Chain A
Amino acid sequence: TQLLEQSPQFLSIQEGENLTVYCNSSSVFSSLQWYRQEPGEGPVLLVTVVTGGEVKKLKRLTFQFGDARKDSSLHITAAQPGDTGLYLCAGVMDAGNMLTFGGGTRLMVKP
């Protein structure tokens, strides 16, 4: 059982569609981060959220941190083939000093 559960694990959609990826936990996190990883490369940070209820937007990507700081979501509007990749959420627990990762959501956007 993962501390951070991501859903769905796999998602295949057509270009132009919207999608939401979820990251859920029963634990409270002091901050939560979303990464995108391409094959053969390391994770690249997209955003960090630290305040319960916080919403951040990055072009077509909208990130939300749950009020209780236990969950987060990533919404992509009008997905493009360039959005294809592995999306990872990762959190820092209040008592820890390291990132704990979810299992990832593998997104494929077909042209």
Chain B
Amino acid sequence: NAGVMQNPRHLVRRRGQEARLRCSPMKGHSHVYWYRQLPEEGLKFMVYLQKENIIDESGMPKERFSAEFPKEGPSILRIQQVVRGDSAAYFCASSPSTGVLSGNTIYFGEGSWLTVV
């Protein structure tokens, strides 16, 4: 679990500002997933990326949200013009090259808590 590094752990933004959340997957993992968790709820899938490719973004809002996983560096989840409803915990997870369908374990980071004031 500790192998997936997320930062910042806590982020406060005013309405209208941008939030950038970073995720470094476990060493050797090339699949990254982003999930959002609202208070008292389960995790909701947002986006699934491999290096330089978005594989599935069906869970990500069409506007203001974007994600990338460049060839070098961490994966970034970007939220533009944040609103109060964006306040949540954002979790990143990673898995090895063949992903979870092959039975690989998915490892979660400790999350980034975004508060919009």
Contacts and interface: CB of A to CB of B under 8 A. Distances in A.
**Is the interface on chain B under 10, 10 to 19, 20 to 34, or 35 or more residues?**
20 to 34
B1 A42 contact: yes
Among B44, B106, B107, B111, the most chain A Cβ lie within 10 Å of the Cβ of: B106
Interface in A21-66: 30-31, 33, 35, 40-45, 48, 50
Contacts of A96: 101
Interface of B: 1, 4, 33, 35, 40-45, 48, 55-56, 91, 93, 99-101, 103, 105-111, 113
A43 B101 contact: no
A2 B41 CA distance: 11
Contact of B56 (A6, A43, A88, A98): A98
Given A41-B110, A45-B107, A103-B41, 14 more contacts: A31-B103, A35-B108, A42-B111, A44-B1, A50-B103, A90-B43, A92-B100, A97-B56, A97-B101, A98-B48, A99-B33, A101-B45, A104-B42, A106-B40
Contacts of B43: 43, 88, 90, 101
A90 B107 CA distance: 13
Contacts of B45: 98-101
A42 B105 contact: no
Interface residues of A, number: 27
Contacts of A88: 42-43
A92 B102 CA distance: 10
Nearest to A43: B108
Contact of B33 (A98, A104, A106): A98
A14 to B, nearest CB: 23
11 contacts: A35-B108, A40-B111, A43-B43, A90-B43, A92-B100, A99-B33, A99-B100, A101-B35, A102-B42, A104-B41, A104-B42
A92 B56 CA distance: 14
A100 B101 CA distance: 12
Contacts of B99: 97
Nearest to B92: A42
B109 A48 contact: no
